[in-house]
Amino acid sequence: MGEKTMVSVAELGRMVESIFMRAGFNAQQADAITRIITAAERDGAKSHGVYRIEGCLRTLAAGKVSPDARPELIDEGSAVIRVAADGGFSPAAFDLGLPALAARAEKLGLAALVINDCVHYSALWPEVEALTARGLAGLAMCPSYATVAPAGGAQPLLGTNPLAFGWPRAEGAAYVFDFATSAVARGEIELLARANEPLPEGWALDADGRATTDAEAGLSGALLPFGGHKGSAISTMIELLAGVMIGDLTSRDALDELGTLSLAPKHGELILAFSPSRFAAGRPGDPLARAEVLFEAILGQGARLPGQRRFAARARSEAEGIALDADELALLDRFQRE
Ligand code: NDP
């Protein structure tokens, strides 16, 4: 392992923000993107950290994201709140919709935030965590672009379609999971292809639709969903709810429009917020206390809760700073000058 340099969370935030401002994003967009990338580095979620800057800038250079997007809140007082992202990245749209989403869920017990016409590169855990921080449970999902074959099929059709869930806890960090519904991220296959290493079985099909352990063949074929027909159905549900139902693009539409996997795709997102106290009203037991019994039983078996690794990394980063390697520092340096 190469030498690491420690950078404080705030310092990394300043560097990343200056890159996006310099690139021409307005302050609202730059601030929102910066918070996602910095939070990912802070939490040891490298796949959405500094490494994503290049892809965001490439998407900008290709004219596929609007740097001066001004998301618009469309709230008619119902359970469905909408933000038109105006072709900007998703985080600014989410930030705009969050207060209305949380307030409506508290009032009605359940509310939804629909984001339309956003460009998406983000992890979803920051969004469900924003809800758990307000005492709400959250469920977030979005399509991606078509790289995954449905179980039993042979051609890319579904996206890697992430699904994230968060449950609030009175003490300590929330219960949060966030993962793609493909067996593995495409980036993992790219890494194995570069290292000339084989894929585990069940990750990919080749261009003729045959199961393959050859990474290059997998890249020119299709990824497989996680959990066979179960992951395939969950991923299809995400296409339906967060694509078709919200009047936005499916993963196939998004790829057809963009024509490449090298830029961030444009589509929509759906975020649901639930008030546990409203749902449990009049029923025995406090839902947050009952959830703790479940979490203790999980931990009592020696299992860990999703989110625990990230929260431990967060505590370390806040105390000691974020460890960046020479490549990451060089990238930050280059983009601050360019
Ligand atoms: P993983 O397969 O690594 O799964 C991550 C989740 O599982 C985390 O919540 C993690 O918690 C939890 N977890 C991992 N191991 C365990 C364990 N042993 N016990 C309990 N929980 C565990 O994630 P993916 O590679 O599928 O996805 C990574 C990210 O990529 C996500 O944030 C997702 O949103 C994002 N993504 C975004 C897309 C987009 O288009 N915007 C498309 C696809 C993915 P912990 O973090 O604590 O380890």
Ligand 1 pocket check for 310: Cβ under 6 Å: yes
Q: Is residue 200 part of a domain?
A: no
Judge whether 97 lies within some domain. Answer: yes
Which residue among 178, 298, 309, 310 has the greatest number of ligand 1 atoms within 8 angstroms of its CB, and so is best to mutate?
Answer: 178
pLDDT (tens, 9 = 90+) of the chain, 338 residues, equals 578 999 999 999 999 999 999 999 999 999 999 999 999 999 999 889 998 999 999 999 999 999 999 999 999 999 999 999 999 999 999 999 999 999 999 999 999 999 999 999 999 999 999 999 999 999 999 999 999 999 999 999 999 999 999 999 999 899 999 999 999 988 889 889 989 999 999 999 999 999 999 999 999 999 999 999 999 999 999 999 999 999 999 999 999 999 999 999 999 999 999 999 999 999 999 999 999 999 999 999 999 999 999 999 999 999 999 999 999 999 999 998 87
**Domain presence at residue 202:** no
Q: Whose CA is nearest to atom 2 of ligand 1?
A: 179
Give the neighbor-by-neighbor strand order of the sheet with 175-179.
72-74, 80-84, 110-119, 266-274, 137-141, 163-167, 175-179
Residue 166 belongs to some domain of the structure: yes
- Number of domains composing the chain: 1
* Residue-number span of the structural domain to which 71 is assigned: 4-182+225-278+310-337
Inside any domain, residue 295: no
Residue 129 lies in a domain: yes
Q: Is the pTM of this model over 0.95?
A: yes
Side-chain-side CA neighbours of residue 274 (13 Å): 15
What count of other Cβ atoms lies within 10 Å of the Cβ of residue 153?
A: 16
Residue nearest to atom 14 of ligand 1 (CA): 306
- State the ipTM, two decimals: 0.98
Phi, psi of 334 (to 5 degrees): -60, -45
- Most ligand 1 atoms within 8 A of CB, residue of 118, 132, 179, 271 to mutate: 179
CATH classification of the domain holding 230: 3.30.1370.60
Which residues does 155 contact at the CB level (< 8 Å), separation at least 6? 149, 209, 222
Give the list of residues 6+ apart from residue 47 with CB closer than 8 angstroms, or none: 40, 123, 185, 187
Q: Is residue 111 part of a domain?
A: yes
Active site residue 229: no
26 within a domain of the structure (yes/no): yes
